[in-house]
Amino acid sequence: MGGLGVFSFPSYLDADGAMSFNFWASLIVCGVGLAAGFLLVFFSKIPVLYGETETVATETNEATTLNTNAVVIEAMKKDLSAAAEKDLVASPMIGEMVVLSDVPDEAFATGALGKGIAIRPTVGEVYAPANATVTLLFPTQHAIGLTTENGTEILIHVGMDTVQLNGEGFTSHVQQGDKVVAGQLLLEFDIDFIQKAGYEIITPIIVTNSNDYLDVITTKEATLTEGDYLMTVIA
């Protein structure tokens, strides 16, 4: 019948306008279709999403009542609770913000090592960005790995290719396995020495287990001071 609906009925009339069998058959078919659709909807069980109570027969043929609404709401609460979990990370140093994609190292710039941000430091000091445990400290002291109390794994890598300095220009104030508090001094480094040696001082701060999280949101501030908001890791 197409989109005309009831206005298509005249098309079933004979050429001379007589109401032949075709016309009456079209009316009967439409009536049967309407009645069948009504009865099927009226007696068919409609799937329950949020309301109503559903009865389920047990193995002993005893009926037990399952409140579907309560189950769904409880699941939604858990999902919302999980989505609300987040870990706030502060800036571990003083300097200028650099988006990760601008870091002159493909492994960092492409996010292959994890999501995050970078800082071009103006002061050669690295502070703990949160309460954490020192889980990695390179012998060359140019990079340090931390795991926060919430499980976020953070890598602070001072400069590019500074591993080649073999520790010259770097001083560590912690050891691997130490527990540190936010704002505690972790490392010191000589910016002038590193630059005169021909190395870039841009420092990536990345979440190495960012694949375990929903997203990592970073600050938009151009300049940062130790303790300023740096990024949020969302569970």
Q: What pLDDT is attached to residue 65?
A: 44
- The answer on pLDDT for 150 being more than 60 is yes
Q: What pLDDT is attached to residue 86?
A: 84
Record the pTM. 0.65
Residue range(s) defining the domain that contains residue 217 = 86-234
- The answer on pLDDT for 6 being more than 90 is no
Instruction: Indicate whether 63 and 102 sit together in one domain.
Output: no
Instruction: Indicate whether 74 and 123 sit together in one domain.
Output: no
Helix, strand, coil share (%) of the chain residues, nearest 5: 30, 30, 40
Q: What pLDDT is attached to residue 1?
A: 62
Q: What pLDDT is attached to residue 53?
A: 45
- The answer on pLDDT for 54 being more than 50 is no
Instruction: Indicate whether 114 and 61 sit together in one domain.
Output: no
Instruction: Indicate whether 60 and 169 sit together in one domain.
Output: no
Instruction: Indicate whether 138 and 127 sit together in one domain.
Output: yes
Query: DSSP H helical segments within the chain, as ranges?
Result: 21-43, 68-84, 106-109, 191-196
Dist. CA 210–CA 125, nearest whole Å: 25
Q: What angle do CA 154, 92, 231 make, to 5 degrees?
A: 60
Instruction: Indicate whether 76 and 92 sit together in one domain.
Output: no
Q: What value does the mean pLDDT of the chain take?
A: 86
Number of domain units in the chain: 2
Q: Which of 34-48, 83-97, 133-147 has the lowest mean pLDDT?
A: 34-48
Distances, alpha carbon 207 to alpha carbons 1, 66, 147, 203, 218, in Å: 61, 43, 10, 13, 11
Please state the rounded mean pLDDT for residues 193-217.
Answer: 95
Q: What pLDDT is attached to residue 60?
A: 46
- The answer on pLDDT for 173 being more than 80 is yes
- The answer on pLDDT for 55 being more than 90 is no
